[in-house]
Amino acid sequence: MTNKEKARERREKRMQEISLLRTIPYSDHNRWWSCENVAVVTGSNRGIGLEIARQLAGHGLTVVLTARNVDAGLEAVKSLRDQEQGLKIDFHQLDVTDTSSIREFGCWIKQTFGGLDILVNNAGVNYNLGSDNSVEFAETVISTNYLGTKNMIKAMIPLMRPSPHGARIVNVSSRLGRVNGRRNRLANVELRDQLSNPDLLTEELIDRTVSDFINQVKDGTWESGGWPQTFTDYSLSKLAVNAYTRLMAKELSRRGEEEKIYVNSFCPGWVKTAMTGYAGNMPPEDAADTGVWLSLVLPEEAVTGKFFAERREINF
């Protein structure tokens, strides 16, 4: 058996394990949430986001599905309600690249529910498929995937309700954004070290890194800048998300026990969705599992500032 065949066999075995995990119900004895708990899932009118919303609602939470397009969002809510009776799902328009839209959404959340308990930052874009590596839409990719996630976190933290169980922030990311991955990593060793060191990691450093990339895209020098080689703009946006996850976990860890917020990121894998041209090897039902698990893990099991794939911690 070749190494490629062995790797495929391992992937298939792990996918079977994930499917099995999804069939194991969360014990009512250990359930800390109820329909009074509110989960917000951004960009959830299709793909992984829609599936995360469906599974969280299926576990009995009230879920707020969001989308930029109102018609697409309302249609998604209707499809979920048609699939399963009794789901508590609401919809509100949200464009994470628009600060006024985020502000309006926050006001609606506060007025309607008084706050939220879980935030899943799923909204994201990628304009490359296969071996493509265009940076034509790099600003949109960075603005949506990184800045949209960051701005949502900043806006929602004041609205996250105090609880002995802790609130949860889950960021959908990618292995392509690992700082120290063996492949597709930054060429600048000093920058990698700074982004990897919790004592050196700052919001300014993350912002400056993505800003340097955008500036090089504009002046046409990005190809010699030592950036990730595969899906460069998307990979860098997710590297920034992972770094910001660790940064926020450190800042939020200073909170008291009744105000804990656990923040983690996860890679859903290569999923059969529009973002991959439906060429992925994992169905959305399995891809959503780790995000749902991180949203619902028990307080005594809860971790923060970590990166996961298939319910397993992996390196940033």
Could you tell me if 37 and 118 are in contact, meaning their C-beta atoms sit under 8 angstroms apart?
Answer: yes
Could you tell me if 266 and 149 are in contact, meaning their C-beta atoms sit under 8 angstroms apart?
Answer: no
Burial class (CB in 10 A: 0-12, 13-18, 19+), 286: buried
Whether 234 is a known active-site residue: answer yes
Choose the catalytic residue: 26, 146, 234, 278. 234
3-class DSSP state of 139? helix
Give the number of residues written for the chain.
316
Question: Can you tell me the distance from the alpha carbon of 179 to that of 188, in angstroms, rounded to the nearest whole number?
Answer: 10
What beta strand segments (E) does 16-71 contain?
Answer: 38-41, 62-67
Query: Could you give the residue ranges of the DSSP H alpha helices within 40-174?
Result: 47-58, 70-83, 99-113, 138-142, 148-156
The one-letter code for the residue type at 52 is: I
Question: Can you tell me the distance from the alpha carbon of 125 to that of 113, in angstroms, rounded to the nearest whole number?
Answer: 29
Could you tell me if 179 and 316 are in contact, meaning their C-beta atoms sit under 8 angstroms apart?
Answer: yes
Question: Can you tell me the distance from the alpha carbon of 288 to that of 293, in angstroms, rounded to the nearest whole number?
Answer: 9
Largest CA distance in the chain: 60
Query: Could you give the residue ranges of the DSSP H alpha helices within 170-303?
Result: 189-196, 203-219, 232-252, 284-287, 289-296
3-class DSSP state of 246? helix
Could you tell me if 170 and 295 are in contact, meaning their C-beta atoms sit under 8 angstroms apart?
Answer: yes
Residues labelled as active-site residues: 234
